[in-house]
Every structure is written in structure tokens, then in C-alpha cells.
């Protein structure tokens, strides 16, 4: 009897394995688009409701936990505001000057791009660093497009598109690589994901000087990302005399775990 | 009736996993509710009747966030079968210690198998498959601890809720 049960469970074990392998093969062939869309459509109301509910709960909890720091933060923000006000006024002058120079050089306007507003409806850093967004092929989203926040902070790129949703690979994923440049010293390198939600800028020539606190931007070279998107700030420079390249740890500009909506740049 | 309830519960659990639980990370580790529930169910249901039902939440999770598709489902199925086998042949008695050992074994087995499958997919050049071993060694122990605790809670919940559920037609 026990032998019979064992063989029965053994058969069901292998049948299920075969079914899973078959599903992997179907997905590889691209035949699972319709079932995946059905699953997405069925889960979408729950995903959206839970996302909304959890963001509100987190915001509520944060109010209680952050009261202590609010006074200090307020004072710091006031100082920063004054500084930014001055910088803003300087930048306006620079922008005006830039416009004049462009007209003079007859370079024309920078190529126009469309921003597709998308809501993040799923995120799990443990199962691959992806966001699930609520825009897909039907909204004009395609693979390889850059994804940013409203502040132009780079989040990642679209890696998989279905009819009504898409998966965005975060720049903090170990599989992600972005060509980058430091804003002040104009040193090029490659930004890669590291442990957790961290970033590293690699392939920086040893003879180039970079400073902590410097902003790192996309360089727009050899990838689909437009130039000038903000990646983060250099938090540490790792320099080893034996290496031919130096490395910098980057503090990402965007807080990945608190995002609710993003823009896909088309 | 039961199958509809299971599908609905799976959709809700997967939605919770991808939204609320993603915000409950502790030391950069997000609890895996689906793994915890499936391992807990494997411990509770030693005869592994209707075991294919565990594929519902696994496939849902895989189709929404898995990349490459199928690896989460495969790892969960193997972990489920492993815990079922251990429960049937090695830890027949019930009690806290056997449940703890089975939970820990299931979660450790899943982490190892999932990492191994990703490595295999990486070798096969499948899209989106990459594992950083430094990441794995750093996060796996925390994930194991976190998910093992969750698994014990899930086991206790299943023990309380399943008799009522079984009364349904």
C-alpha cells in the first residue's frame, strides 16, 4: 500500500515538473502573453488597492516616527531653501545665456521626448529588482526605454512588456549597467547595481580625480538612456594602488522603496 | 467553490507580497509570504493531497514578477516536495521541534535551489538571470531567518483555519 502511495506521489511530482518546464518553454516562445495579461487584469485591482493602502499606512506611520527630527530638518531645509533660491536665480541666468548661445549656433531645440506617466503596482527586491508598472504596449511602452521619477532621477529601464503592463529593471539590480559621467569633473564610468539597493560607479581611470558629494548623471553614450538624467551622488571613493581603475560608491538619488509613480521616457 | 476560493486567496496573497510586504523589509530582506505558506502547508498536509494547488500562487507570482519566468514556481515546487518527503519519512511526529526543523529545511532548500536555478539560467544566457554570490551570502541567512519565523506563524494559522475551510463544499 505504502509502495503504491509512494509511486503515485512520485508520478505527480514528475508530472508537475514536466508542466512547469512546458510553461517555461511556452514563455520562451512568447505563447504566454494572453494568460499573463489575464492574470494581470485579475490581479490589477488588488495590486492597486494594496499599493494605495500600504503607501498611506507607511506615510501615517512615518508621521509619528519622524516628529522628533522634524524641527532639525525644518531648520536645515530653510537654510537649503535660501541656498537653492540663490542657485535657481543663477541657473535662470545660465539658461537664458544657453538659449542665446543655441540660437547663435543654430543647434535647434533638444529632441522632444514623450513622458508616459505610470503607476508602480508591484515591487519585490528579493525576487529580482523589478517594478511592475501599469503601462504596456497599448500605451506605447517598449523594451529598453528609460524610467525616471518626476525629478528626473533615473530608476531603471523597461525589460519586459506585456499588453497592459511592463517590468522595469532597477539600476540597483546587479544585471543593470548605465554609462555615466560625473557632473563637475566630467569623468566617465559605468554605474552598476551592488548589494541591496546600492550602486557603484566602476571603470573610472585611476588618474582621474573624483570627489565625494559629486552628482553622477547618465552620459547618454552607447545606451538608450538620454544624457543628463540624475543617478545619484558619490558617497565614497574606493582607490586601490594595485588596480588600474578606481571605484565610487553612489548614493542613489531616488528612494526606490517609496516610489508610487514613474515616467517612461519615449 | 474551494478552487475559486483558492484562486482568489492566491491573487490576494500575491498582491500583498508585491505591495505591502515589499515595504516591510528588515535589513534589506523582504519576507516571502508565498514560500512561508507553501512550506507550512507541506508540513501540515503530510499526505500531500491536491499538491498541484500550490502551483496557483507560485505561477501567479512568477507571471507578475518572475524573471526568467518559471524559476520561482520550480523552486517552490521542489521545496514543497522536499518538505513533504522529509515530513513523511523522517519527522513523522508532530510538535514544535519537528515543525521548526521542517520549516528551516524548507526555507534553506528553497534559497539554495532558487540560487542554483538562477545560476543555471545565467549559464544558459536566459534574460534577466543573474546572481551575485556576495549578495547571496549576505542576504540568504537573513532571508532564511525571516522566512522561517513567517513559516512557523503560517503553520499555526493553517492549523487554526484549515479545519473550517475543509468543511466547505
Q: Chain B residue with minimal CA distance to A127?
A: B66
For the segment A55-88, what is each residue's pLDDT rounded down to a tens digit?
A: 777 777 766 666 767 777 887 887 787 778 667 7
Angle between helix B2-18 and A33-105 (nearest 10): 20
Q: Where are the domains of chain B?
A: 2-166
Measure B98 CA to nearest chain A CA, in Å: 22
Rounded to two decimals, the ipTM of the complex is 0.86
Residue A102 has pLDDT above 70, yes or no: no
Q: Is the pLDDT of residue A139 over 80?
A: yes
> Residue A46: which of B11, B72, B73 has the nearest Cβ?
B11
The pLDDT > 70 percentage for chain B reads 88
Residue given cell 517598449 in the structure block: A142
pTM tops 0.80, yes or no: no
Residues of chain A in contact with residue B65, where contact means CB-CB under 8 angstroms, are 122, 124, 127-128, 130, 132, 167
Q: Are A155 and B50 in contact (CB under 8 A)?
A: no
State the pLDDT at residue B34.
92
Most confident of A154-168, A191-205, A220-234: A154-168
CA distance A222 to B73: 36
Per the structure block, which three cell numbers stand in for B96?
514544535
A47 close contact with B: CB closer than 8 A:
yes
| A159 reaches B (C-beta below 8 A) | yes
Return the ∠ at Cα B111 (arms to A127 and A58), rounded to 5°. Answer: 40
* DSSP H or E segment with residue B127: none
Nearest by CB to residue A125, choosing from B30, B47, B128, is B30
* Domain range summary for chain A, segments of one domain joined by +: 2-31, 115-170, 177-257
A240 vs A251: which has the higher pLDDT? A251
Interatomic CA distance for residues B55 and A136, integer angstroms: 26
Closest CB to A20: pick one of B19, B68, B77.
B77
Residues A22-65 pLDDT 10s: 998 998 888 888 898 899 889 889 988 888 888 777 777 766 66
Which chain A residues are within 8 Å of B64, Cβ to Cβ? Answer: 39-40, 43, 122, 132
A27 in contact with B, Cβ within 8 Å: yes
| Cβ atoms of A155 and A148 closer than 8 Å | yes
CA geometry: angle at A203 spanning A202 and A209, to 5°? 90
The 8-class DSSP code of residue A251 comes to E
Whether residues B19 and A122 touch (CB distance < 8 A) is answered with: yes
> To the nearest whole number, what is the mean pLDDT of chain B?
84
Domain A177-257 has CATH 2.40.10.350: yes
Instruction: Give the three-class secondary structure for B95.
Output: coil
Q: For residues A220 and A187, is the Cβ–Cβ distance under 8 A?
A: no
Q: What is the count of residue pairs from A and B with beta carbons less than 8 Å apart?
A: 138
Give residue A1's pLDDT.
Answer: 47
CB contact under 8 A, B23 and A24: no
Q: Which residues contact A211 (CB under 8 A, 6 or more apart)?
A: A184, A185, A234, A237
Q: What is the Rg, in whole angstroms, of the alpha carbon atoms belonging to chain B?
A: 16
Best CATH choice for the domain A115-170 from the list 2.40.160.10, 3.40.50.2300, 2.40.10.340, 3.40.190.10: 2.40.10.340
Candidates B11, B66, B68; nearest CB to A42 = B11
A130 vs B contacts (CB less than 8 Å):
65, 67
A130 touches chain B (CB under 8 A): yes
The residues with which A188 forms a beta bridge, in sequence order, are A181
- Mean pLDDT of chain A, nearest integer: 81
pLDDT of residue A108: 44
Q: Mark yes or no for CB contact B77/A175 under 8 Å.
A: no
Amino acid at each position: 500500500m505504502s509502495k503504491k502511495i509512494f509511486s503515485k506521489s512520485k508520478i505527480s511530482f514528475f508530472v508537475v515538473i514536466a508542466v512547469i518546464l512546458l510553461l517555461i518553454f511556452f514563455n520562451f516562445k512568447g505563447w504566454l502573453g494572453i494568460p499573463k495579461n489575464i492574470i494581470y487584469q485579475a490581479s490589477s485591482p488588488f495590486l492597486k488597492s494594496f499599493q494605495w493602502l500600504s503607501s498611506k499606512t507607511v506615510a501615517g506611520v512615518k508621521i509619528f516616527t519622524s516628529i522628533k527630527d522634524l524641527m532639525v530638518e525644518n531648520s536645515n531645509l530653510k537654510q537649503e531653501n535660501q541656498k537653492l533660491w540663490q542657485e535657481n536665480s543663477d541657473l535662470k541666468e545660465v539658461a537664458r545665456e544657453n538659449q542665446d548661445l543655441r540660437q547663435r549656433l543654430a543647434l535647434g531645440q533638444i529632441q522632444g521626448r514623450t513622458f508616459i506617466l505610470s503607476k508602480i503596482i508591484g515591487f519585490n527586491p528579493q525576487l529580482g529588482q523589478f517594478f511592475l508598472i501599469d503601462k504596456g504596449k497599448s500605451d506605447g511602452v517598449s523594451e529598453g526605454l528609460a524610467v525616471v521619477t518626476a525629478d528626473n532621477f533615473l530608476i531603471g529601464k523597461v525589460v519586459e512588456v506585456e499588453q497592459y503592463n511592463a517590468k522595469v529593471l532597477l539600476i540597483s539590480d546587479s544585471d543593470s549597467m548605465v554609462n555615466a559621467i560625473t557632473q563637475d569633473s566630467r569623468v566617465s564610468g559605468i554605474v552598476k547595481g551592488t548589494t541591496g539597493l546600492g550602486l557603484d560607479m566602476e571603470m573610472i581611470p585611476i588618474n582621474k580625480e573624483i570627489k565625494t558629494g559629486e552628482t553622477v548623471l547618465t552620459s547618454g553614450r552607447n545606451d538608450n538612456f538620454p544624457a543628463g538624467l540624475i543617478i545619484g551622488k558619490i558617497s565614497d571613493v574606493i582607490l586601490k594602488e594595485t588596480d588600474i581603475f578606481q571605484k565610487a560608491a553612489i548614493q542613489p538619488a531616488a528612494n526606490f522603496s517609496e516610489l508610487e509613480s514613474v515616467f517612461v521616457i519615449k | 467553490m474551494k478552487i475559486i476560493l483558492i484562486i482568489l486567496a492566491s491573487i490576494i496573497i500575491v498582491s500583498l507580497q508585491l505591495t505591502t510586504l515589499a515595504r516591510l523589509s528588515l535589513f534589506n530582506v523582504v519576507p516571502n509570504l508565498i514560500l512561508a505558506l507553501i512550506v507550512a502547508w507541506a508540513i501540515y498536509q503530510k499526505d500531500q493531497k491536491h499538491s498541484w494547488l500550490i502551483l496557483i500562487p507560485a505561477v501567479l507570482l512568477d507571471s507578475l514578477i518572475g524573471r526568467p519566468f518559471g524559476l520561482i514556481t520550480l523552486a517552490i515546487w521542489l521545496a514543497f516536495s522536499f518538505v513533504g518527503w522529509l515530513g513523511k519519512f523522517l519527522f513523522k511526529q508532530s510538535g514544535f521541534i519537528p515543525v521548526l526543523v521542517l520549516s528551516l529545511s524548507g526555507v534553506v532548500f528553497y534559497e539554495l535551489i532558487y540560487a542554483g536555478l538562477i545560476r543555471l539560467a545565467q549559464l544558459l544566457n536566459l534574460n534577466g538571470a543573474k546572481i551575485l554570490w556576495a549578495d547571496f551570502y549576505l542576504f540568504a541567512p537573513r532571508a532564511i531567518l525571516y522566512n522561517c519565523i513567517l513559516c512557523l506563524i503560517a503553520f499555526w494559522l493553517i492549523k487554526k483555519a484549515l479545519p473550517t475551510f475543509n468543511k466547505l463544499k
